[in-house]
Homo-oligomer: A and B are copies of this chain.
Amino acid sequence: MELAQYAEPKQTRSRFQNGLDQLRDCLIAMSRNAEHAVELAIEAYQLRDSERCEAVLQLERKINEDERHIDEIAIELLAMQQPMAIDLRFVAACMKINADLERVGDEAVSIARRSLNELKLPEAKLPVSIDEMAKAVAGMIRRALDAFVSKNAELANVVLEMDDIVDRMNMECCQAMVQVMKESTEVTEQALDALIVSKNLERVADHATNIAEDVIFWVRGIDVRHNATRPQVS
C-alpha cells in the first residue's frame, strides 16, 4: 500500500514533465512557422510573388491550428493535480507566447495581402529599406525564442532594446512615405503599402517584445520563487 502511494506521484510527475516538454517543443515548432511566415511574406512583397502570398495564407492556417493545439495541451497540463508554482508560470508564459505567435501569423497575412495589392499596381522605387527592418524583426523573434529555450533573461532583455531600433526604423519609414505621397501622387498606393508593411513589421517586433517579457516573467519566477509574494485570492 505504501509502495503504491509513492509510485503514483512519481508516475504523475513524469507524465507531467513529458507534457511540459511537449508544450515547449510545440511552441518552438510554432515559432519557426511564425518566423517563416514573416520571412515568406516579406519575400512575397519584395519579389512581387503571388505564390509566396498563397504559401503565407496556408502557413497561417497551420499556425492557427498550432495555437489551438498548444492551448489544449496547456489546459490538459493545468488539469493535472498540484503542479508546482514554477511549472504554472511556465505554462502561463507558454499560453501568452502562443497568443503572440498566432498574431505574428496575422501580421504576416496582412503583409501578404499588401503584396497581393502591389501586384495590381506598377512597381515603384521607394526610398525605404523594408529588408533591413525585416532582418531586425526576424532577429528579435529568433532571440526571443532562444531566450525562451535557454531560460535566458539577459537575452530576453536584448530583445526589449532592439524594439526601440525597430520603432525608429518604422517612424523613419512613415515619414519618408508621407513625403513620397505628397510629392509623387502617382505612387501614393505603393507608398501606403510600404508604410503599412512597415507598421506590420513594427507590430511583429512588439509581439517579440511581449514574448521576451513573458520569458523574463517566467525566468524571474524561477529566481525569486522562494521569496515571491503571491497574490491572495479572497
Contact with B along A171-212 (1 / 0, CB 8 A): 000000010011101001100100110010000000000000
User: In the complex this chain forms, how many copies of it are found?
Assistant: 2
Check if B88 sits within 8 Å of A79, measured CB to CB. yes
User: A73: which B residues are within 8 A, CB to CB?
Assistant: 231, 233
| Contacts A88-B79, A233-B19, A233-B77 given; does A189 touch B178 at CB 8 Å | yes
Check if A182 sits within 8 Å of B188, measured CB to CB. yes
Which residues in chain A, 56-73, are within 8 Å of chain B measured between CB atoms?
69, 71-73
Check if A88 sits within 8 Å of B78, measured CB to CB. yes
User: A72: which B residues are within 8 A, CB to CB?
Assistant: 230-231
CB distance from A103 to the nearest CB of B (A): 9
What are 6 A-B contacts with C-beta separation under 8 Å?
A22-B233, A78-B91, A79-B230, A95-B95, A95-B96, A178-B189
